[in-house]
A and B are shown apart, each in its own frame.
Chain A
Amino acid sequence: MRHLLSAADLDRDAAVGLLDTAERMAATQEREMKKLPTLRGRTVVNLFFEDSTRTRISFETAAKRLSADVINFAARGSSLSKGESLKDTALTLQAMGADAVVIRHQASGAPYRLAHAGWLASAVVNAGDGTHQHPTQALLDAFTLRRHLVAAGDAGLGRDLAGLHVAIVGDVLHSRVARSNVDLLHTLGARVTLVAPPTLLPVGVEAWACATSYHLDEVIAEGRPDAIMMLRVQRERMGAGVPANGAPVATGFFPSPLEYTRAYGLDARRLAMLPEHAIVMHPGPMNRGLEISADAADSPRAVIVEQVANGVAIRMAVLYRLLAGEREAF
């Protein structure tokens, strides 16, 4: 593995291998001394063109637990806000000797360009690009699914997600999490159903390796999902916004927050309809009361906080695979 740009680039064995490595990484995190010497002397740059404190901290923690040097390069407050190009930033990082660049960018494909345009020799990890991909999120979701619904610890090693049914609910159109999960969960043998109002499903979704539905109640009652993943819905997507500068605004993707919540929100009623064993997931940050109610978010079936913890293990596994190769060092 040279880069991690898209969940679609992982075949079953590579994906299971990463989950297995993450499982071993997670085990080391239960030790008193959490830090491993594996990446001592290596430099990981977190290049964040878009604010995401949680994802950056997760990558930073992962790199530090592996003893890598970490440089946080935030687009705001750097020369990027003065208009430095992605290319010049890449050349700078190359000159500084970055071994891996973790990039978050608002433009779909920016990590792909960073990896393939010939600007930079480092390994590139996509930490979320536009509405394209967020592969470490999909990996941590798959890891969480495996631990809860297949087997945790050593018993899970080598296992994929065959036979599981996962419903992903919400703003699929603008979601890199949904795209990454459809790719990865399908590769791992799970069945995915996307649930959204028609306005929040992209034209072309019919080519994806998943089913789609406009009806959440039907999917819960008839599809009996083993897990339900609620996507964040951004408030600016709704209703007819008020123009700040008099310019016309895009018509909303749905009429009102209340109507969205009625049709697609995970509330106590829908939570009760889910199968006994089903888990509730959310990539965060949540809009409580919009796509997920407090009842659901705080219920014992919610694994949302655990997803965050698993994120560190997954990102350790990814950095380890990219920078340490196959050496066993822990």
Chain B
Amino acid sequence: MGRPTDATTGPTAGPTTGPTGRYLLRGVAPLGGPRTDVLVADGRVAAVGAEATGARATVVDADGLVALPGLVDLHTHLREPGREDAETVESGTRAAALGGYTAVHAMANTSPVADTAGVVEQVWRLGRDAGWCDVHPVGAVSVGLAGTQLAELGAMAHSAARVRVFSDDGMCVHDPVLMRRALEYVKAFDGVVAQHAQEPRLTAGAQMHEGVVSAEVGLPGWPAVAEEAIIARDVLLAQHVGSRLHVLHVSTAGSVDLIRWAKSRGIAVTAEATPHHLMLTDELARTYDPVYKVNPPLRTAEDAEALRAGLADGTIDTVGTDHAPHTREDKDCEWAAGAFGMLGLETAFAVVHTLMVATGRMTWADLARVMSVAPARIGRVDAGPGAQGRPIAVGEPANLALVDPAARWTVDPASLASLARNTPYAGRELTGRVVATFLRGRPTVLDGRAVPPGAAS
């Protein structure tokens, strides 16, 4: 899956070793536990504790930093091919690395749509060539995301990109028969259908959450029931055909209840929350600034709290960014004319840390679970030479994020690596920052700065 050279290049020694060399992470706290030293060599975690010594290794002063398994995003829009003015695979994966990610799943709503083996292989190759993190293309469920005919799911699964996650994200697979067929079909290669739950007839022309704020500001409402009705249907379908279902960007309290109920019945459903639905609310629509326009929309404070509670108790399995870059002209306009979507990769860790870990609602292991381990398992990228979401233990691939839990920083859109600037957190202070990222032993980020692949350390 990754760059083959990573796995085969041996240690070349010396403190000025190449990017796949030896790194001693001194004083680091794996998953927030006791401080220790971690030696990274040959792309793997070579030693932990007393056996980790600095001989011939570049020493990284990691005192006070927490080590996490490299983050894994199941929900990224890289926009290439088609909208390279908003983001490219290179810029998006650089943003991902800066956000602590070592793998992202690239959604299929590109132009052309990623509904053939050719397109998914193109995206996969672009990711491999960029070298910032693993890029796992998501395959479209239906041809052209049109919701009528199954795309060639098998061809994508058996392509070089080895697609396991299928989604029409941006569009709901609203036809119940098509959804049933997709759920059944992907069982042949242990795939999963990731549903964008949005009943289209209930949301025609919808601009924001339907409730007190939409009534006042006069924007057409997107009712919670339009999400919940699809989730209710899909969990029952998944149960009926015995398939895996992953629900993208769960946004309402009612959806959390439905998923909790489905899990209690043993249904193989997993669910995602985005950082923005965890932190932000529909009150922001009062500004009419389309930077706060997203699909599904920002909901009420009660919904956001239900998502945080669901994330803490395990009902919500993953945090996915739904990183959705848009050009300035697509956001510098009136609300109705603005595009749906927000940036997320470079702020996701800090948002989740601020809301959940700094407040004591989740442990570091919990954060690693929802941002790395569970997404890797759901995407079936948790085994083999490119394995992600693995424990920080000797012999495991050295996919790591080192974060400073004490760092407080204010989000500045101009300083983001993404080509786009549509972050909803501009001017907000967050706690916790990514300091370094290692992709199979090679630093992609050091001291909070991107280290171009191939550059000497």
List residues of chain A with CB under 8 Å of any chain B CB.
85-87, 105-110, 112-113, 116-117, 129-133, 176, 179, 202-208, 248, 250
Contacts and interface: CB of A to CB of B under 8 A. Distances in A.
Contact of B221 (A87, A116, A133, A203): A203
A246 B356 CA distance: 49
A240 to B, nearest CB: 13
A203 B217 contact: no
Interface in B164-203: 201
Contacts of B216: 179, 204, 207-208
A130 B336 contact: yes
Interface centre among A109, A130, A179 (most CB of B within 10 A): A109
A107 B329 CA distance: 17
A304 B228 CA distance: 46
B343 to A, nearest CB: 19
A112 B219 CA distance: 13
B215 A204 contact: yes
B213 A179 contact: no
Nearest to B211: A204
Contacts of B214: 202-204
B329 A85 contact: yes
Contact of B218 (A116, A130, A203): A130
Contact of B212 (A117, A130, A207): A207
Contacts of A203: 210-211, 214-215, 221, 223
Contacts of B289: 113, 117
B333 A87 contact: yes
A109 B329 contact: no
A207 B215 contact: yes
18 contacts: A85-B332, A86-B334, A87-B332, A87-B333, A106-B336, A107-B334, A108-B335, A113-B289, A116-B287, A130-B219, A131-B218, A131-B220, A202-B221, A203-B214, A204-B213, A206-B212, A207-B215, A250-B204
A-B pairs, top 10 by smallest CB distance, nearest first, are A204-B215, A109-B288, A132-B218, A131-B218, A107-B336, A202-B215, A108-B218, A204-B212, A110-B334, A107-B334
Contacts of A106: 336
B337 interface: yes
Contacts of B337: 85-86, 107
Contacts of A248: 201
Contacts of B217: 108-109, 132
Given A108-B219, A109-B336, A130-B218, 20 more contacts: A85-B337, A86-B334, A86-B337, A87-B332, A107-B334, A109-B218, A109-B335, A110-B288, A112-B288, A129-B218, A131-B219, A132-B219, A176-B218, A202-B215, A202-B221, A203-B214, A204-B210, A205-B215, A207-B215, A250-B204
A205 B215 CA distance: 6
Interface centre among B215, B335, B337 (most CB of A within 10 A): B215
A184 B223 CA distance: 28
B337 to A, nearest CB: 7
A106 to B, nearest CB: 8
Contacts of A179: 216, 218
A49 to B, nearest CB: 9
Contacts of A204: 210-216, 221
Contacts of A129: 218
Q: What interface size band does chain B fall in? A: 20 to 34
A206 B217 CA distance: 14
A202 B333 CA distance: 25
Contacts of A108: 217-219, 288, 335-336
Interface in B272-312: 287-289
B128 to A, nearest CB: 38
A109 B219 contact: yes
B211 A109 contact: no
Contacts of B210: 203-204
Contacts of B201: 248
Contacts of A132: 217-219
Interface in B312-370: 329, 332-337
A208 B215 contact: yes
A106 B218 CA distance: 11
Nearest to B288: A109
A302 to B, nearest CB: 28
A123 to B, nearest CB: 18
Contact of B334 (A113, A202, A206): A113
A179 B337 CA distance: 22
Contacts of B334: 86, 105, 107, 109-110, 113
A116 B201 CA distance: 34
Contacts of A205: 215
Contacts of A130: 218-219, 336
A85 B329 CA distance: 9
Contacts of A250: 204
B215 A85 contact: no
Nearest to B219: A108
Nearest to B329: A85
Contacts of B333: 85-87, 113
Contacts of A112: 287-288
Nearest to A114: B334
A128 to B, nearest CB: 11
A106 B335 CA distance: 11
A131 to B, nearest CB: 4
Interface string B103-142: 0000000000000000000000000000000000000000
A186 to B, nearest CB: 13
B430 to A, nearest CB: 25
A248 B223 CA distance: 19
Nearest to A202: B215
Contacts of A176: 218
Contacts of A131: 218-220
B215 A107 contact: no
Interface string B86-103: 000000000000000000
Interface centre among A85, A106, A107 (most CB of B within 10 A): A107
A208 B332 CA distance: 30
B291 to A, nearest CB: 11
B223 A133 contact: no
A179 B218 CA distance: 9
Nearest to B290: A113
Interface centre among B219, B287, B334 (most CB of A within 10 A): B334
A206 B211 CA distance: 10
A313 B213 CA distance: 32
B268 to A, nearest CB: 33
A85 B331 CA distance: 11
B210 to A, nearest CB: 5
A116 B214 CA distance: 20
A107 B332 contact: no
Contacts of B212: 204, 206-207
